[in-house]
Every structure is written in C-alpha cells, then in structure tokens.
A and B are shown apart, each in its own frame.
Chain A
Amino acid sequence: MTAGLALDIGSWVLMLAGSFFVFVGGVGALRMPDFYTRMHAASLTDTLGTILILSGVILQAGLTLAAIKLAAIMVFLLLTCPTAAYALANAARLSGLSPRPEQTPGKD
C-alpha cells in the first residue's frame, strides 16, 4: 500500500515535471527571438520533457512488457532527438542563417 503510494507520487512528480518542460518548450518556441534560441527551447520538449513523462509512465506500468517497450522508446528518443536537432541547426547554419541575434531583424 505505502509502496504503491510512493510509486504513484513519484510517477506523478515525474510526469508533472515533464509536462512543465513541454510547456516551457512550447512557450520558448513561440517567444524566443531567433531561430537558434527557438530551436534550443523546442529541443527541451523532445528530450527532457518526453523522458520525464515516459519515466513517470514506466513507474505506472510497473515490471511489465509495456515498461520495457516504453524504455526502448525512451532510448530511441534519447538518440534521435538530439541528432535531429543537430541536423536542423547544421542545415540552418549551412544555408547562411547567422546565430548572432543582432544580425537578424527583430520585428518578424
């Protein structure tokens, strides 16, 4: 009973923290001034947000096959999301977008 309660509290804390980071990432993607800072905010959603939420769901699932599948998804996201972020930033840099905010017009 108490162990179950502790698991519930832990998973809720993880999921709420994950939701917070997803929310912050969404706000950042809308409000940040230029492409690179926006991307930085959005990558928070991909990595920290999803991983915290998935950890919470794993705690809910317990020692089942579903938990192993969720862990596999988590490893997959941990590998692919930063790679995608790198490829995106790299493509922007190669196509000539400068990372310095003062060179990008502020009113867009």
Chain B
Amino acid sequence: MVVIVFEIFLLTLLVITAVGIVRSRDLFSAVMLLGLFSLQIAVIFFILDAADVALTEAAVGAGVSTVLLLGALALTSDREARPKGRRLLALGVASITALILIYASFDQPRLGDPQAPVHQHVAPWYLEQTPKQIDVPNVVTAILASFRGYDTLGELFVIFTAGIGVLFLLADGSGRGARSQLPSAEAQGLRHHLIPRVVGALLVPFIVLFGLYVQFHGDFGPGGGFQAGALVSAGVILYALIEGEASALRVLSFRALAGMIAAGALLYTGVGLAGILRGSQFLDYSVLLADPIAGQHLGIILIELGVGLTVTGVLLTIFHAFAARAQKR
C-alpha cells in the first residue's frame, strides 16, 4: 500500500517534470530537468525491482548524458527557437497517438500478474536454466550476456557506430581527431577553485573504483559493462572538469580511447568466434573451458569487459569531441 502511494507520487512528479521540459524555452533548465526525469524514473525502476535498469538509468541518463547535453549546449544558443506554424498538426498527431496508447493500455495485464504473457513466454525457461547452465546469481546478467548474447552484441555495435558517427560529425577534419587544438591556459577547468578541486580529487578514485566493482560484480549483483562504462567515464569527466581537458587527455589520450572502443568490440566478437573455433556455435561460452559452467563464467566476464571498454571509450570520446569543438569557437 505504501509502495503504491509512493509510486503514484513519483509518477505525478514525472509527469510534472515532463511538462516542465516541454514547456521550458530555456534549454539549460530543460537539460537539468531531463536529469531530474532520469533520476525519478530510475527510482521507479528500482521500486519495480529492476535494479540493473535503475543503475543504468541513473548512471547514463542522470549522469553522463546530462554532461554530454551541456557540452552540446556550449556549441549552440541556450534558448529554444520559436517553432514556425504547423503546431495544430503536431497537436493532432500527438493527441491521436496518446489516445491510441491509452486505448492499448486497457489490454495490458495487471502489474505483477503471474498469468501475463511476459511471465509465461521464455522467462520461466531462463529462470529454470540459469542455475543449471550458467550458475550466476544475477539472472539478468545470465540472460543479457549469455542467453541473449547476440542482442547485447548488437547493442554494443549500436554504441560503437554512434561513437564513430559523432566523431565524423564533430572532429575537425584535420585527420588527427580533435587533439591538435587544445589551448592550455584557458581550458584549465576549475583549477583556481580550491574547494571543488580538493573534493573532486578525493572522489575521482572512489568513483572509478565503484565503476570497476560494478564491472566485475555484475554476475552477482546489479551491474555489468554498460553501467560500469558510464561510471568510469563519469569519473574521468569529473577529472577533466576539475583539472582541465589536457590533463584528462594525458591520462587517456584520443588514441587510447579509440583503441578502447575497437578493443571492446573486438574482444566481444573474438569470444564469439572462439566458440566457433572450439567446435560449437557463435557466442557459445560453454566450450571455452573444459568445464561448461566455468566456460560460461569466463565468457560472461570477457564480454562484459568488452562492453565496458567500448562504452567508456565512446562516452569519453564524445565528451572530448564536444569540449574540443566548444574551445575552438
């Protein structure tokens, strides 16, 4: 009962925030409200027992994407342009879509109904087979990394492609990425602000450590490569904001980041190919070692590492590309 009250409260706040985002002409406050929206939806996911999704939403939605949107904002005006005409048409399309969605929601089963199709289709098989075939406590990781390994490979390549696309759009075309034009004096971040600098320097190692914990503890608790990548890159972005772009690029240069992006995707695909070479199917980890369950564990750790490497590389590359572009103007 208490949970339902809390959920209704959060959903109401969510609607208010969404209306605020749409109505705000100030893009800066819209970005801040978007971060708030992500945080609220992460709490709702957590109440619905989806800890993995909640962690991803909090790390990516509220953390990294806010920073990336602020980076994009530095390249444009912070006021939304007035839309010209056609507002009635847009209103009509949005209203009809909303009515169809509300109508479709009448067919939805009740929340938590055991007879719902989502609980009757493949989910029981996954729950039954995970202890037998893979033996990791976190079923979400077993499904994501092993049973549905193809899907996760696809997601990884979506991120990979997105990173390349952003680089094509934002790099300066000199062929050396954006690293050639880093001014050193102006772009020194918050160096002259003592308090953020001291506290930030204190926090960065713990953020990266927590990222590594989430990376390697993903078999046992909520977490995995996507969340860990977002956390580690958040730590490095904090470092870049405090100590300046140049210092962060000394730690992880553009070349190293590009290497991480490629290495992660190659590692994932390589683990899949190793399955074929050892006489089974693509992405079948059971044949990697003599003991099938140990092979599954090894495969999951390796592909999660691949995911983490690529996600970190892509997020940091996008951040640096935005920052370098903003400094050039």
Contact = CB atoms under 8 A, between A and B. Distances in A.
Interface of A: 76, 79-80, 83, 86-87, 90
Of A83, A86, A87, A90, most buried by chain B (CB within 10 Å of CB) is A83
B82 interface: no
Contact of B193 (A76, A79, A80, A87): A87
Interface in B167-199: 190, 193, 195-196, 199
Contacts of A80: 199, 203
A26 B14 CA distance: 19
11 contacts: A76-B203, A79-B199, A83-B195, A83-B196, A83-B199, A83-B200, A86-B195, A86-B196, A87-B193, A87-B196, A90-B193
B1 interface: no
B221 to A, nearest CB: 12
Nearest to B190: A87
Contacts of A86: 195-196
A84 to B, nearest CB: 9
Contacts of B195: 83, 86-87
Contacts, number: 17
Interface of B: 190, 193, 195-196, 199-200, 202-203
Nearest to B197: A83
A86 B196 CA distance: 8
A89 to B, nearest CB: 11
Contacts of B200: 83
A70 B190 CA distance: 30
A79 B196 contact: no
Nearest to A83: B199
Contacts of B202: 79
Contacts of B190: 87
Contacts of A76: 203
Closest 7 CB pairs of A and B: A83-B199, A86-B195, A79-B199, A87-B196, A83-B196, A83-B195, A90-B193
Contact of B203 (A79, A87, A90): A79
Contacts of B203: 76, 79-80
A76 B203 CA distance: 8
Contacts of B193: 87, 90
A79 B202 CA distance: 9
B29 to A, nearest CB: 14
Contacts of B196: 83, 86-87
B159 to A, nearest CB: 28
Nearest to A87: B196
A60 to B, nearest CB: 15
A90 B194 CA distance: 12
B272 to A, nearest CB: 36
Nearest to B193: A90
A76 B206 CA distance: 10
Nearest to A79: B199
Given A79-B203, A87-B193, 15 more contacts: A76-B203, A79-B199, A79-B202, A80-B199, A80-B203, A83-B195, A83-B196, A83-B199, A83-B200, A86-B195, A86-B196, A87-B190, A87-B195, A87-B196, A90-B193
